Amino acid sequence: MACSLFVTSIIVIFLVSYTYGQQCEQTLNAARFDCYPEKNPTQEKCLARNCCWRSPNQRFNLSHFSDVDVPFCYYPSDFPNYEVISNEPTDFGQRIRIFKSQMTYMPHDIVNLTVDLIYETEQRLRIRIYDTVFKRYEVPLKVPAIEKKADPTDYEIVVKSKPFSILVTRKSTGMILFDSSVSPFIFADQFIKISTRLSSPLLYGLGEHRQSLLINITKNWQRLTFYTRDFPPLENINLYGVHPFHINLERTPDNQTKVHGQFFLNSNAMDVDLQPLPALTYTTIGGIIDLYIFTGPTAQNVIEQYWDVIGKPMMPPFWSLGFHLCRWGYNNTGNLLAMIQRMHDAEFPYDVQWTDIDAMSSHLDFTYDNKNFNGLPDLVRGLQSDGKHYVNIIDPGISSSQPAGTYFPYDDGIKRGIFIKKLDSTDPILGQVWPGITAFPDFTNPDAVEWWTNIAATFHETIPFDGMWIDMNEPSSFIDGSINGCTTYYLDNPPFVPHVLGDSLNSKSLCPSAQHYLSSHYNLHSMYGYFEAQATNQALKTIRKQRPFVLSRSTFAGSGQFTAHWTGDNRATFNDMYFSISAILNFNMFGITHVGADICGFGLDTTEELCTRWMQLGAFYPFMRNHNDIGQRDQDPASFSWEAQQIMKQALLMRYSLIPFWYTLHHQATMESRTILQPLFFEYLNDVNTYNIDEQFLLGRAILVSPNLIAGSDKVHAYFPADIWYELSSGVKLLSIGQFIDLNSPISKLNVHVRGGFIIPMQIPGANLVLGRGNPFTLLVAQSYSGEASGNLFWDDGDALDSVETQTYNYFEFTLKTPNTLTINALVTNYKDSPMRLDLVKILGINKPITSVTVNGKAYSDYLYDFLDQILLIHGLNIDMLAQSSQIIQWTTSN
């Protein structure tokens, strides 16, 4: 009997499959687009959608469910689609009307749509598809408004009428930038799905997810879910932020590489499916299609084009570039003071002290525990008198259970009506976070900024904090939805839920039906951290009248205008340290350049080896903070052995000596849309060896960092592109290039190399950045093959809101040109409150003995030349770089 049933099943499956006809024929598994993305697909459910059902190998056996990656249920070639009914030229490009005569499987299918093709710039195309009749939610992100069509220089558009599709290609190569013809387009009220062919499987971005830098879709199928969520970083789940932006490389037949990017401007919960065709599918449950295509053709060009849409990153305060220390679990002022004292006694440079929620009174925002943390206000003022700064934590959940009239943040919030509300109610929706039952501020409410500023300013009078750390702002709750659950309203029960952690949109957060001033939580959930960061940034400007420092866990596209970011609650493992690199490189692409990871790990007890290696790597994070969890061992540098302390101190001193270079890179990010950290392929686009490297990275364009990420290892397998490289610490030229090299990497060594052709401004470190600002500068000059190099330096007071607008800054350009002439050009010299004296110049790569040196035309004798290492050291210069517009240092060599 069992055998007969088996045979019958095979026959039935075969007959059903046979009736599909040619519309279900697929020569490639990779060309299947998933028609049933929900869990537990079955043949019955699939056929009910008029889709195809076959095992991936096109064999019919009962074990085929073991292969879960390739869709069993996929679209036939004749699946209902839209067709063009009109196409008219417009001032901005084209306006196309499309219509679908047959409904598909999702409720409330929208059959009349408008497609706007907007030629925004010569390199930027925008595709908007929306309901022709009814206005739908659109992301409240301020993006450039374009009213006049640009003339595309390197993209062409072809619109196919029946079935409707859009093809965008690069004029110069014919490479595909966007092609929606690969799969049916679906637009229902709560289910929008559009696919595109990719130019190659070389894909980067799509955050926030824990993943390698290169997203591997050569053989693998992947699904990335976008919906902000509080959860420690793990692979294959949605995390704290939403950044639906990617970079795709195009390899031409002549082995040249160009780059384009895409940004899907949508804040609703979504899945992005990737498959080895290669292809990408966006599936979102709200809003509209609002898609930007950036044509590059370099990675840097794509970044510039993207940031022109979302906004450039903020210029951080100078002091925030130093070393930050924090932990959850100081527990009292005594422990905090003991840590500060041991850091002082061990002579570690550090700039910023933080406290976590244990310093609050009963976990209430804008309070401190005056019993366990007695004297905290005086401690903070003492730190500030020594040139240090203090940052405190604020969670968005405002306690609603304090006695009436005793907790001003809640009382005033209720009075102003600024909390997120329950559906069809004026009452706030209530969740549960650290202080217990809480309401959540609606930062889209115009009154919220004033309310937030007032309560922060009142607390600032007690504890004069210098920055604000906004955590738990996904927003996070310890319960699902609310203390009263969620409604049966359609927003709380969508027909399709992307593959979010917890399988529900209200999982450890608020009900989607909750109401903000601008729209529903269903639409705005993933932008909560964005609007809180914006409000906090403005509050700090008002309170301190200085450049604000905000650190936010949850972010959205454009958050870099207001906030720095850290990668969340990582763990003390070498694997977590490795993943931090790709995360930081991605966030630089996303326009959040002041970014770091919890050094030495947040969860679990760290080890001395791991923390030492991580402090070395962390010295090259844009935002450098050591932070760990309650109940774990102390992991501040001074808590380790004397030997480990010395190694960590050298890493910190290396960072502090490079602060002028770091600060200038931040200025370039703000003004010129340049990433601060970047992957190697950004600079070596035609070198295929760089495409998958995420264990090394570049600081700016000039410094290559190759950390040791393996426990117990004393070697680093590092790649050096075909260029000239010098070891940063010794200045010695590297002989082997264009290949992978095993570098010696004992625990005491971090491998850092300088690229020829660049001049790095440096400074003698101080105990902290404020105390060291007046110290002498150094120029590290790394010659290229041609004997030339260049660099620059931006310098202001480090805190002013308007130093660029008022030109109250100094800006220098340094150039080395043959024959052996270093020029210091002072282009802007309006900041006079700090000495800018150049004491030392170190030139690398001089292969002939030096016979003389002159400074501004006068003979100079204080120099040393190392013939073996080919280094010229000109010391004791005491040059005032502000004294004149151009100053020249020259040297002659023997023939």
Q: Tell me the C-alpha distance between 3 and 566, whole Å.
A: 59
- Residue 364 in domain: no
Query: Pairing state of beta strands 789-795 and 777-782?
Result: unpaired
Asked whether the beta carbons of 858 and 874 are under 8 A apart, the reply is no
Q: Which two tokens stand for residue 499?
A: 């593959």
Q: Which two tokens stand for residue 577?
A: 């340290």
Helices (H), 179-269: none
* 474 part of the active site: yes
Secondary structure of 276-325 in HEC code, one letter for each residue: CCCEEEEEECCCCEEEEEECCCCHHHHHHHHHHHHCCCCCCCHHHHCEEE
- Residue 496 in domain: yes
Asked whether the beta carbons of 148 and 309 are under 8 A apart, the reply is no
What's the length of the chain?
Answer: 895
Nearest to 528 by CA among 240, 224, 144: 240
Q: Residue 571 contacts by C-beta under 8 Å, 6 or more apart in sequence?
A: 232, 601, 602, 603, 604
Last residue of a domain, one of 74, 104, 119: 74
Please check whether residues 17 and 52 belong to one and the same domain. Answer: yes
- Residue 333 in domain: no
Asked whether the beta carbons of 428 and 399 are under 8 A apart, the reply is no
Residue 35 maps to which CATH number?
4.10.110.10
Asked whether the beta carbons of 434 and 399 are under 8 A apart, the reply is no
Question: What stretches of 440-588 adopt beta strand conformation (E)?
Answer: 467-470, 550-552, 564-566
**Edge-to-edge strand list for the sheet holding 257-264:** 83-89, 93-99, 112-119, 124-131, 289-294, 257-264, 243-251, 202-207, 215-216
Whole-Å CA distances, 541 to 611, 639, 669: 35, 36, 21
Last residue of a domain, one of 310, 335, 353: 310
Helix (H) or strand (E) holding 811: strand 810-817
Please check whether residues 98 and 145 belong to one and the same domain. Answer: yes
Please check whether residues 109 and 54 belong to one and the same domain. Answer: no
Question: Judging by beta carbons within 10 Å of its beta carbon (0-12, 13-18, 19+), is residue 122 exposed, middle or buried?
Answer: middle
Name the domain count of the chain.
4
Last residue of a domain, one of 43, 74, 105: 74
- Residue 379 in domain: no
Residue with tokens 């056929």: 47
Cβ neighbours around 445 below 10 Å, total: 21
Q: How many CA atoms lie within 13 A of 516 on its CB side?
A: 26
The pLDDT score that the predictor gives to residue 345 is 98
DSSP letter at 520 equals B
Residue 435 maps to which CATH number?
3.20.20.80
Please check whether residues 68 and 171 belong to one and the same domain. Answer: no
Q: Residue 716 contacts by C-beta under 8 Å, 6 or more apart in sequence?
A: 706, 707, 708, 742, 743, 745, 751
Asked whether the beta carbons of 246 and 256 are under 8 A apart, the reply is no
Q: What is the pTM assigned to this prediction? A: 0.96
Which one of 358, 395, 466, 471 is the catalytic residue?
Answer: 471
Residue 697 maps to which CATH number?
2.60.40.1180
Please check whether residues 423 and 281 belong to one and the same domain. Answer: no
- Residue 636 in domain: no
Asked whether the beta carbons of 828 and 795 are under 8 A apart, the reply is no
Q: Tell me the C-alpha distance between 158 and 511, whole Å.
A: 42
Distance of CA 609 to the CA centre of its chain: 28
Please check whether residues 144 and 198 belong to one and the same domain. Answer: yes
Q: Tell me the C-alpha distance between 590 and 593, whole Å.
A: 8
Which one of 34, 250, 474, 695 is the catalytic residue?
Answer: 474
Q: Tell me the C-alpha distance between 72 and 56, whole Å.
A: 6
Please check whether residues 93 and 151 belong to one and the same domain. Answer: yes
* 672 part of the active site: no
Please check whether residues 67 and 105 belong to one and the same domain. Answer: no
- Residue 570 in domain: no
Please check whether residues 127 and 233 belong to one and the same domain. Answer: yes
End-to-end CA distance of the chain: 97
- Residue 152 in domain: yes
Q: Torsion angle of alpha carbons 700, 704, 710, 714, nearest 10°?
A: -150
Helix (H) or strand (E) holding 521: helix 521-524
Q: pLDDT by residue (tens digit) across 94-106?
A: 999 999 999 999 9
Q: pLDDT by residue (tens digit) across 259-308?
A: 999 999 999 999 999 999 999 999 999 999 999 999 999 999 999 999 99
The pLDDT score that the predictor gives to residue 57 is 58
Domain around 428: 395-543
pLDDT averaged per 10 residues, the chain (length 895): 38 39 78 94 96 70 43 95 97 97 96 98 98 98 92 96 98 97 98 98 98 92 96 97 98 93 98 97 98 98 98 98 98 98 98 98 98 98 98 98 97 98 98 98 98 98 98 98 98 98 98 98 99 98 98 98 98 98 98 98 98 98 98 98 98 98 98 98 98 98 98 98 97 93 98 98 98 97 97 98 97 96 98 97 97 98 97 98 97 92
Q: Tell me the C-alpha distance between 220 and 69, whole Å.
A: 8
The pLDDT score that the predictor gives to residue 56 is 72
Please check whether residues 59 and 191 belong to one and the same domain. Answer: no
Residue 320: what residue type? S
The pLDDT score that the predictor gives to residue 736 is 84
DSSP letter at 734 equals P
Please check whether residues 35 and 168 belong to one and the same domain. Answer: no
Please check whether residues 181 and 114 belong to one and the same domain. Answer: yes
Q: How many CA atoms lie within 13 A of 856 on its CB side?
A: 12
Whole-Å CA distances, 537 to 226, 259, 444, 458: 25, 34, 14, 16
- Residue 823 in domain: yes
Residue 183 maps to which CATH number?
2.60.40.1760
Q: pLDDT by residue (tens digit) across 669-687?
A: 999 999 999 999 999 999 9
Q: Residue 42 contacts by C-beta under 8 Å, 6 or more apart in sequence?
A: none
The pLDDT score that the predictor gives to residue 20 is 45
The pLDDT score that the predictor gives to residue 25 is 82
